[in-house]
Amino acid sequence: MTNAQLRNRVSSGFLLQVGTDTFRLPGAPVGALVDLRALMLDIGGDVWASGPTAAALHGFDGYRLKPPFDVTVLRDRNIRRIGHRIHSTTSLDLIDRSVVGDTACTSGARTLIDLARTESIERLTVAFDSGLRDGRFNESLVHRRIVALRSSGRFGVPRLLSAIEGVEAIRGGHSWLEREYLRMLSAGGLPRPETQAVLTRAGDKIVRVDFRFPGTPVVVEVLGYHSHRTKEHLQRDTQRLNALITDGFRPYQFTYIDVVERPSDVLEQSRLALDPFR
């Protein structure tokens, strides 16, 4: 149709204009999902529902599909739509893409990471729990994507890690990082260590380590994403390390990045540490 033909049909009520380049027949189904699809069709090309909109599509608790919608396009496009939030990204890896029904959106893990920019720890905790419950992601995938995206301006990642750590505290079990190290040892055929072992004292503080391998002086600690060194942390950690060495232990430390991104190196280092005592 020509523009004039479209204008005539809109004027006569035969078509309803719902976007810059999008029209609807009178009597066609209406609702938030239809409106979202109309917006994405109007934008055209590569476009994905994202943020709170994707969270609603994935069924995260506490999110409802409603305008204004959040959608993401590639950064080489200059897209504006009044009343909606159009985000841009330099790229969106295939692992970060999903389809719910027939609506393209960011994956559950990517959606959770994107939410961390703006949402509170409380809302992130609920979203993380519901995503796990409904199989939108697993813990390993979330941590792998955090590592992969950590250098892409994901300012909310520490907040998301705080939410995950809060969930771990409620469960009362090991952290994901500790469970992942135990899983890694089991898969590599290495012995299972004791966990949360109290070994010595540093000044007036007890020294508890994540893992101790019985019958050996080898102890291992896995350092979470938040591990950073203020002067106070450095002083405390130095005292702990010296106390362990003085008492004849061989302490090893692996960072969050080590366990998530270089698991084979972590396993090999653990194997080399244990070999003299096997």
Q: Is there a domain that residue 5 lies in?
A: no
Predicted pLDDT of residue 148: 87
Are the beta carbons of 218 and 274 closer than 8 angstroms?
yes
**In CATH, what number is assigned to the domain containing residue 212?**
3.40.960.10
Q: Is there a domain that residue 187 lies in?
A: yes
Helix (H) or strand (E) run with residue 268 in it? helix 263-274
Predicted pLDDT of residue 24: 83
Q: How far apart are CA 127 and CA 206, in angstroms?
A: 36
> Whose CA is closest to 43, among 22, 24, 28, 25?
22
Q: Is 206 in the same domain as 254?
A: yes
Q: Does position 7 have pLDDT exceeding 90, yes or no?
A: no
Q: Quick: pLDDT tens for 116-131.
A: 999 999 899 899 989 9
Q: Is 166 in the same domain as 187?
A: no
Are the beta carbons of 105 and 99 closer than 8 angstroms?
yes
Q: Is 61 in the same domain as 153?
A: yes
Band of residue 215 on the pLDDT scale cut at 50, 70, 90: very high
Q: Is there a domain that residue 19 lies in?
A: no
Q: Does position 154 have pLDDT exceeding 70, yes or no?
A: no
Q: Is there a domain that residue 16 lies in?
A: no
Q: Does position 90 have pLDDT exceeding 70, yes or no?
A: yes
Cα–chain center distance at 172: 21
> Whose CA is closest to 70, among 23, 30, 114, 31?
114
Q: Does position 226 have pLDDT exceeding 80, yes or no?
A: no
Q: Identify the residue with better confidence: 13 or 252.
A: 252
Q: Select from 136, 171, 206 the last residue of a domain.
A: 171
Q: Is 112 in the same domain as 148?
A: yes
Q: Select from 171, 187, 215 the last residue of a domain.
A: 171
Q: Is 158 in the same domain as 244?
A: no
Q: Select from 153, 171, 189 the last residue of a domain.
A: 171
> Whose CA is closest to 35, among 49, 46, 45, 51?
49
Q: How far apart are CA 194 and CA 186, in angstroms?
A: 13
Q: Is 147 in the same domain as 219?
A: no
Average pLDDT, the chain: 88
Q: Is 164 in the same domain as 217?
A: no
Q: Is there a domain that residue 17 lies in?
A: no
Mean pLDDT of the region 246-264: 92
Band of residue 247 on the pLDDT scale cut at 50, 70, 90: very high
Q: Is 155 in the same domain as 208?
A: no
Helix (H) or strand (E) run with residue 251 in it? strand 250-255
Q: Is there a domain that residue 260 lies in?
A: yes
Q: Does position 113 have pLDDT exceeding 90, yes or no?
A: yes
Residue 68, preceding peptide bond in cis (omega within 30° of 0): yes
Number of domains making up the chain = 2
Band of residue 170 on the pLDDT scale cut at 50, 70, 90: low
Q: CA Rg, the chain, in Å?
A: 25
Q: Is 73 in the same domain as 107?
A: yes
Q: Is 135 in the same domain as 181?
A: no
Mean pLDDT of the region 163-188: 78
- The structure tokens listed for 188 are 């590599």
Q: Is there a domain that residue 87 lies in?
A: yes
Domain membership of residue 201 as a residue range: 176-277
